[in-house]
Every structure is written in structure tokens, then in C-alpha cells.
Structure 1
Amino acid sequence: MTCKTNDRNTERHSWCDMCEIVGVRHITTKRRPMLKRIPSHMYRHALSALVGLLGWSLLCLSHIDHASARPKSKKHSTRVSRAQLSKRGFGAQTTFDRKQLTRKLNRILRSRKLRGARVGLIVTDRDGHPLYQKNAKKLYIPASNTKIFTIAAALHTLGPQYQYTTKIYGTRPIDKNGVLRGDLYIKGSGDPLLRSEELWRITRDLYNLGLRKITGRVKFDASVFDRKRFGKGWKDHNHERYRPYLAATGGLSMNFNTITITIHPGKVGKKARITIDPPSRYVRKVINLTKTVTSVGRIKAKIRMRGFRNREHIIIRGNIPSSAAPRSYWRRVSHPGWYTAFNLVYFLRQQRIRVNRWPRRSRVPGNAVELHRYVSPLLTTSLQYAGKYSSNFVTEQVLKTMGAEKYNAPGTWKKGLRVVQTFLKKHGIMPKEYTMQNGSGLGRGNRFSPLQIATLLKGMLADLSTRPDFLTVLPVAGKDGTLRNRMLSIKSTLRAKTGTIDGVSSLSGYVQTRDKRMLIFSICMNGKLRQVKLFRRLQNKIGAVLAAYPWKK
């Protein structure tokens, strides 16, 4: 683009200065007189320049207006209100309605059917501030709520990653021909989850190592625990002393120290068929006093275990309906070490490893050679049986393990309770303020208050190193464990440990409300045997009330 100025008199006329602004090439011409009329293209140049300047001005003004519209950088400008946090579920809720909570809980506990019963209840927030209390400082029989203290102490003392190790030793190494010239030793560590499957795997591994024959005997070492198999409180349940929930403890145990007895109907007028699992020589004799009859119904039999030296007799009585389906019973064994050793011999012979069928008790000699070892799952897995399924056997095994680890073998009830006592002191629960006879809550000699239970629950919630594992071992309402068929309306929002013996029912744990609050509660109810079902119904109502907060008007 060029400037076609027809100025012949001057080298450069004044109006063509605009050519430099708008970038137009200027062509000089000969001098000529200046014309009075302004050329039309000058207007175009000037207009385009003005439009460009106007555009830059408007752009600058828009930036100034945008900057002035920004809020001033004050601290409160970036904060979110409590109401907004509450809506978003971040825990910044309004004050808890204690009056309404008190009315609702009092209405539940005024039931006429509770006459003669002792009830203690406490509800706190996650920081331990009480929201409701009733007889919270009084001592009650907590039943299996005692396991809360044992589980918490085990996680703190042993750690969630703790594992049991069962070791196999030989007097000498296995030779080239697969012969162990001497004895085979199995040394227990108190593993509560050693079962037939694990024992079979151990014998299979020995076969894979080349073992084909043992010239000596199988010997077992259970010295990690003392020989006291039954603790304080077992005699309170003496009328059910053969039941599996009263299983003996032992440094070497298997199948929760229980044996499975299955009854199959026979021909009418004949005896029923009995099968034992595992079918080892630990059971010396089965005395079958049953009779198959033509009646219709479920199998009901009376089974007794009678000790005979280091083995047992099984006595079975009852009329067995011919049309009934087979039924299995579980009964405790009285000699855990011998029971495991006899079963080890059985599984070795199943693997075609030749061995003398009669085991012996003996400590592992110092010059023995380690042949194999079995490592159990993590402690958290074991504690799930204690928490979710309320296994007394697992809890007592863990209690003795704490004693053995802290104060050296053999582990005893006294040493284990001493470990728990030291742990509870750290949470402000003094020994003179409670009574603890065992780790599982068996018997009627244990005494704790709802406030003490809630205090420990608050402490476990604040300890990040054990909190996930502790929450994992508690039953979940409507999902698993002893709460799988309870409080289905608030499924998954409540985690709590149950406790039940004759005339006693307890429930303690955590519940999440509708506005995402975490509440801690403990309910202890002591009364008559026939009131246990009522206690459970009332506990379910209390759990539903807490989970439904804030309540609809």
C-alpha cells in the first residue's frame, strides 16, 4: 500500500506524517504548490488510527474494572460457614440436641419388663464429652465386652503385624533316602488358628522335602504356655462344660481345641452311624448308645466327653429320627497338645510317611535341626475371631501370648492380665476400679462400668497406629459377626462388640449418625435369664435412635 500524494513542490508534505503511523509507504514527488483541499485518503488514515487507539483504551479500561471488582484479601473471605460444612458432611455440626436425646432414651429404658434389671448406659461424642448417662459409673458383669480390653491391649502390645510360628524339628537332618533317623518334634507358639488344613499343609511340605520315614516318634512341645488349661470363670458354666465355647487353652492347639461329631440316621431299630473329624487315634473309643426310630424331626442327641489318660471317650445317647438329615456337633477336647500330636501322626501317615502311631510329650533338645516352619496370618485376622465371632478360645490364647512375650515363657493368665492392667493404666483406668478374672468375659466374676468401656473406646479411636485394625475386628450391624442379624435398618453404620451370658447382655462400640457424627456408646444390662432377648431388643432400639440423629420432627 502506497501513499499517492501528488505534492510536487515539497520533498514531503506535512500530512504524510500520518503515513508513518499507519505504515503506508510514502512516494516522494516533485515540488508543487500545496492544494487547499485535503485529500480524501487522509481521512481514511486518520480514522483507522483513531479506531486503533480507541480499541486499546477500551481494553485497558476493562482490565482496570475487573481488578477493582475482586474482593479484598481478608481472612474471612476464604472461610466456609459452619452451616456449609455441615451440609457437605465435614463434621462442623451444630450443637447436639441433648434434651431430645434424653427424652428418647429415657422412653426406651422405662419399659416395665426391665423391672428387677440393672441397666447402665453412656453416650459420648468422639472426644469423650458425655451426651447421656445413666448409672454409667456403676460396675456390671460385661460378659464378652471384656474382650474389648484384651483386644485393645493385644494390638498395643503385640502389634497388628504379629504372627505365630509353628516349627518342625528333627533329631538329625533327613538323609538321602528320605529317612529321619530319630524323632520329629512339633513346637507350638500358641497359634489359635492352626487347623486341620494347616496341619495337612505342614505334612505335605515335609513330604516335598523328601521325608518318607521316621524311625523314632512324633513328639510335641507346648511349653510356651503353662499346663493350666481352664481359667477362672469356667466353673460358672459347668452345666455346659463340653461345649466348644469352654475350650481349653494350650501352647499347641488345633481346630480351636474342638472335635466334630456327625450323627447319621441308620436303619429303624438300629444304632445311628457316627463319624469323627479328624479321625485320629486321640478318640480312644466311641460309645454309641443311640437308636434310630420312625419319628419325624431333627436329630437331638446328648454327647459327653470322658477323659482317659491323655485321650478321650465319646458317649452318645438319643433317639435318632430315620428321616432326619445328618447333624454335626462340636465338643471341646481336654488335652490340646496330645490332640494335635495324634492328628499330626494321622496326616503324616496320610502322606505315606511311615511313623510310629503313638506320640509323646517332650521339649525340643538344643541340638535339634529345624526342618520346617509354618507362619500364621497376621494378629488382626486372629482378633477378628475374638471380636466379630466372640471366640473365647482365641481371646484366651492371645492373652497368654501377651504374657509370654512380655514376661517370657511360659505364658499364664496372671502374666497376661498384668499386661492388660498396665495398658489400662495408660488410659486412666486404675486396677482398683474394676475386676478382671480372664480375657474373654467367661463367668460372673468380671466387673467393668460403661464409663470405663467408653473411655477405652475413645482412646482406641484416637490412636492412629491401631485404630484401623481395632475397627476391623468389631462386628458390623446387619453385615457380619454377632450383629449380622441385628439392627438391619441401620446396616453398616454401627460397629460394636456384643456380650451375652445367662442373664447378661452388653453392647459397646461406635455409631455414625445421619449428619456424619461419630458417637461412642456402652450399654450394660444385668438381670434374669429370660430377660436377655428383651435386652437385645432395647439395645437395637437405642442403636437405631443414635444412628437416626438429627431426628425428623
Structure 2
Amino acid sequence: MLRRLVLLCGLFMPLTALGAGFTELGRMAESGFLIGAEARLLGDGGAPGEVLGAIEPQRQLSPASVSKAYLAAAALDRWGPQHRFTTRLVSDVELDGNGVLAGDLIFEGGGDPALATEDLWRLAQRLHQHGVREVAGRLVVSQWRFGPVECITTDRCQASSRTANAYSALLSSAGVNHGSWCVSVAPGAAAGEPARVTSCDSQSPIVGIDNRVETRPPNSGTEFSAERVTREGEDTMVLGGQISLNASPREVYRASSDPARQTARTMAAMLEQAGIVVRQGYATSVEEPSAATRTLAAVDGKPLQELLLRTMNYSNNFMADVLALNLVDTPRSTLLQGGEVIEHFVGGIPDHGPLELRSGSGLTPESRISAHGANVMLESMFHRTALFPSFVASFQSPATGVANFIRRGSPTFQDHVMLKTGTLNQPVAVRAVSGYFRTRSGRWGVFSVLVNGTATTPWLNWAQVLDPLAVDLERMIDSH
């Protein structure tokens, strides 16, 4: 009778009681933070694995960039690890015997989230190889697949006029260099002279430069600010501060106000360097090239598995949201539609439960998932043998990952965990982390932790979350 009573008590025990596995992390709730957490071993033969710890695991909270793990799973499910996006130069006019294209040259953006200047240079070289020496018309950058994409977050809306960062880059299927300008700042010839500021991508200037950086004596320190502002429709990089005479050049990235226009200017510079003259300048378009166009040059992007590694490791918002937009089958897609496609993918995973994703990047603070649901998704990918190697490779190891702030905890935590983090600071602080772990006996487990602040909670930093989590996960790893 007593044994039966104990079992019944266990069935009706509050969910937070299972949080014994999160004894350190659970103390954050005492400060008013909202927490959803779950860690469990992966089951065998379809049976659910043992729950090692849980704190309100069904609670719907903002995941920030943990959303990118959902995007990665949906993208692998749709295209497979080796998929590549293709960018083309096309035209519907003939090339004459003198190498003159008697009309427009159309740059057809293929939605490659990692399209870079080197790819544009390859396109220019292949166009030259095709025999083109002159374009009698314009260079037209077509973003008919999607773009310009309506901004739905504060940072991106502000970036249409000015920005001091690169993470808020606007979106287009014809964007290059993650939708950001790059300039190189080097010391001048002598102390007291202006710094030398040039484009990273071209010998000729392709973005306006307002240089207020002064060269100072050797070893005097380097510190400068950079903001991209838009003046009369033209982007200008405004830089101020100082650079030491013996300092190495520094590269600065800031989001452009119009990624398609940025691509047009960069592509025009590549054509010029390749010796191809464009007579009537450049333009952007949202029209699909006609069926009569022929491909003059093309370049394939990197395989999806490499795109996901970059997207996840560097938490690249531009790449994530461009991939989400690519998931939508119809042209002129929106971020909300991209989120809906990911939600539809998740709807096919049994026992996941509700979620709301309004983007692929997690920049949208309205997105909601649960720790339990995230673990269910992670487990579903674990059992997809053809996709799992590419999926798990996109997560970071605390010991060797690119982000310094995850290098915490004991060697056990650093060497037995693969994770994806997410950070938001507005309208409330969010720190989220999700991933896999291996126990001492070699068993796989999954964990997800979502910590959301409120209007009354203090500032939240990563040490407050990762330090106690590392202790809790180390205990789980060592005891199994």
C-alpha cells in the first residue's frame, strides 16, 4: 500500500520537482526570470529516454537564435546537405561578333545566403570568357524571388536609414556579403594625417566614405566608431576616432540600406576590373527575367551543410532569414511565410507541441517554443542518419567553438556538449541554449534551456546562465 502511494505521489508531483537535475540553474527563478528547461537521454527503439531534469519544460518562451536550429533542420529536410544555390548572369539579346551585348545584362539572384565578392568576380571572369566585352544597356540586378523584404524588427527597420552594426542587414535574394558594406581602415603615412579608408571589395570606391579617423603616433591605441548612413539615396560609411601609425588595417562591416543595390555596385566594379564596359549604369528590379533569356555565366554557391555551419556557428541573421525565405515556394515571400514553412515541418514531428516562429533567425521577439519541443526536434534529427552528421556539425563545442563566451565550465562540459545559443536584449533579455551531450558511458542526450527576463528583472548575461548550466550538465554526464 505504501509503495502504491509513493508511485501515485510521483505521478502528481509538480513538474518543477523534476528539476532536481537543474538545481543550480533553477535558482534563477528566484530572481524573477522565466525558465523552461529539459534534459533527457535519448531512448532506444522509439521508447522515450529518461528525463534527467526539467523546469516547466512545456512553457512557451522566446528562443532567440535557437530558432536557427529549427531552420537548419527544415532546410536539411527540404534540400539535403549537398544542395547549392545558383546565381546567374543572363540576357535576352544576342552577343555580336565584337563582344557587344546589345541590351541589358541581368543579374538573377538565386537566394544564395553566402554569396560573396569572390563569386561576383567568378561571374565577371566567366562572362569575359564567354566573349562579352561591352554591355550596351544596363546591369540589372533582379531580386524577383524575394526582395526587398519588409522589415518586421526594429533593428532592420532602422537600418533602412542608418545603422552601427551588421547583424540587422536587410534581406534580398540578390544580396552579397551578407547584405553589408566592408571598408578597410589603415593608418596614414604619418601621425596627424587622416587614416586611409578603402573598400574591401574593389580598387574603386563602391560606397561613400566620410573619413574622420586620425593617424596617431605608434602604440597610441586604436579606437574608432563606424556608422552607415543613407544620404539622398546613397550609402555612406561615417568613421571617426584614431588609429596608431603601427597598427594593422582593420575591416569594418555595416549593413547596407539596399542589398540589391549594393550587389549592383559591387558587380559593376567586378565587371570594370574584368575589362567589361557597361554603358548605361545599373538598376535593380523585382521582375523575373523572361523565358527568352539565356545564361551567359553562372556560379554555384557552397553546399548547404557548409552554409548551415556558418549560419549556426556565427549566428548569422542574414543567412538564416535568407534560407527561411528560400523555403517558401512562391515568389515575393515574407519572413512570416518562412516561419510558417518551418512550423509546417515541425508539425510532422510527433509530440513536439505548439510553437510560433516568425523568422528563421530568431530576431523576432514574438517567436515562441518550449524546451520539451526543442528536445523532441533534436531527437528527431538524431534518428535521421543521412542528415544528422551535417546537422550536429553546425552546433558548437564549448572547447573549440568560435564563440569565446561559451568556453566555460569544466573539461567535462566543454568536451561532452554541442550547443546553439540565442541572445536578445530587447524588449526583454533572452538567453537560450539547446543541443546534445554525451554521457560518460557514451549515451546521447538532448537539452534545451530558455531563460526570458521580464520588465522587472535585471540585466541578464551569459555567465548567469551558462555557469550553472555547466555544473548541472556535468553532473548528468558523470552520473550516466
Q: TM-score, normalised by structure 2?
A: 0.84
Higher relative contact order (CA 8 A, sep 6+): 2
Q: For residue 224 of structure 2, what is the aligned residue in structure 1?
A: 301
The counterpart of 2:35, out of the listed 112, 119, 128, is 119
Q: For residue 227 of structure 1, what is the aligned residue in structure 2?
A: 148
Q: For residue 74 of structure 1, what is the aligned residue in structure 2?
A: none
- The separation in 2 between residues aligned to 1:227 and 1:519, in whole angstroms, is 41
- Residues 112 and 252 of structure 1: CA distance in aligned 2, closer, same or farther (over 3 Å): closer
Query: 1:442 is aligned with what amino acid?
Result: L
Q: For residue 100 of structure 2, what is the aligned residue in structure 1?
A: 179
Q: CA deviation at 1:443?
A: 4.2
Say if 1:283 and 1:313, in contact at 8 Å, map to a contact too: no
Q: CA deviation at 1:285?
A: 2.7
Q: CA deviation at 1:203?
A: 0.9
Determine if the alignment matches structure 1 residue 397 to structure 2 residue 322: yes
Q: For residue 366 of structure 1, what is the aligned residue in structure 2?
A: 291
Q: CA deviation at 1:295?
A: 8.5
Q: CA deviation at 1:497?
A: 1.1
Q: For residue 156 of structure 1, what is the aligned residue in structure 2?
A: 77
- The separation in 1 between residues aligned to 2:77 and 2:154, in whole angstroms, is 26
Determine if the alignment matches structure 1 residue 518 to structure 2 residue 444: yes
Identity %, equivalent residues:
23
Determine if the alignment matches structure 1 residue 209 to structure 2 residue 130: yes
Mean Cα displacement is larger for which, 111-120 or 521-530? 111-120
Q: For residue 506 of structure 1, what is the aligned residue in structure 2?
A: 432
Q: CA deviation at 1:391?
A: 1.0
Q: What whole-Å deviation, never above 9, does each CA across 1:411-432 have from its counterpart, x for those lacking one?
A: 221321221121121124688x
Q: CA deviation at 1:292?
A: 3.4
- Residues 271 and 429 of structure 1: CA distance in aligned 2, closer, same or farther (over 3 Å): farther
Determine if the alignment matches structure 1 residue 377 to structure 2 residue 293: no
Q: For residue 251 of structure 1, what is the aligned residue in structure 2?
A: 173
Q: CA deviation at 1:306?
A: 1.5
Q: For residue 388 of structure 1, what is the aligned residue in structure 2?
A: 313
Aligned 1:280-429 pairs, distance under 5 A: 283-294=206-217, 296-308=219-231, 310-356=233-279, 358-362=281-285, 363=287, 364-403=289-328, 405=329, 408-428=330-350
Q: What whole-Å deviation, never above 9, does each CA across 1:283-309 have from its counterpart, x for those lacking one?
A: 453112233345855422221212245
Say if 1:509 and 1:520, in contact at 8 Å, map to a contact too: yes
CA RMSD, Structure 1 to Structure 2 (Å) = 2.9
Q: What whole-Å deviation, never above 9, does each CA across 1:141-164 have from its counterpart, x for those lacking one?
A: 221111111111122223333321
- The separation in 2 between residues aligned to 1:424 and 1:254, in whole angstroms, is 30
Q: For residue 467 of structure 2, what is the aligned residue in structure 1?
A: 537
- What are the ranges of 5 or more consecutive residues in structure 1 without an aligned counterpart? 1-100
- What are the ranges of 5 or more consecutive residues in structure 2 without an aligned counterpart? 1-17
- The separation in 2 between residues aligned to 1:469 and 1:346, in whole angstroms, is 36
SS in 1 for 2:223: coil
Query: 2:40 is aligned with what amino acid?
Result: T
Q: CA deviation at 1:234?
A: 3.4
Q: What whole-Å deviation, never above 9, does each CA across 1:165-184 have from its counterpart, x for those lacking one?
A: 11111232333322222221
Q: CA deviation at 1:109?
A: 2.8
The counterpart of 1:456, out of the listed 377, 390, 393, is 377
Q: CA deviation at 1:201?
A: 1.1
- The separation in 2 between residues aligned to 1:387 and 1:349, in whole angstroms, is 35
Q: For residue 277 of structure 1, what is the aligned residue in structure 2?
A: 200
Query: 2:399 is aligned with what amino acid?
Result: G
Q: TM-score, normalised by structure 1?
A: 0.74
- The separation in 1 between residues aligned to 2:53 and 2:401, in whole angstroms, is 28
Q: CA deviation at 1:122?
A: 0.7
- Residues 280 and 250 of structure 1: CA distance in aligned 2, closer, same or farther (over 3 Å): farther
- The separation in 1 between residues aligned to 2:202 and 2:230, in whole angstroms, is 17
Larger Rg: 1
Q: CA deviation at 1:329?
A: 1.5
- The separation in 1 between residues aligned to 2:177 and 2:228, in whole angstroms, is 17
- The separation in 2 between residues aligned to 1:331 and 1:457, in whole angstroms, is 34
- Residues 290 and 479 of structure 1: CA distance in aligned 2, closer, same or farther (over 3 Å): closer
Q: For residue 190 of structure 1, what is the aligned residue in structure 2?
A: 111
Query: 1:217 is aligned with what amino acid?
Result: R
Mean Cα displacement is larger for which, 145-154 or 271-280? 271-280
- Residues 284 and 150 of structure 1: CA distance in aligned 2, closer, same or farther (over 3 Å): closer
- Residues 448 and 281 of structure 1: CA distance in aligned 2, closer, same or farther (over 3 Å): farther
- Residues 259 and 298 of structure 1: CA distance in aligned 2, closer, same or farther (over 3 Å): farther
Aligned 1:82-101 pairs, distance under 5 A: none
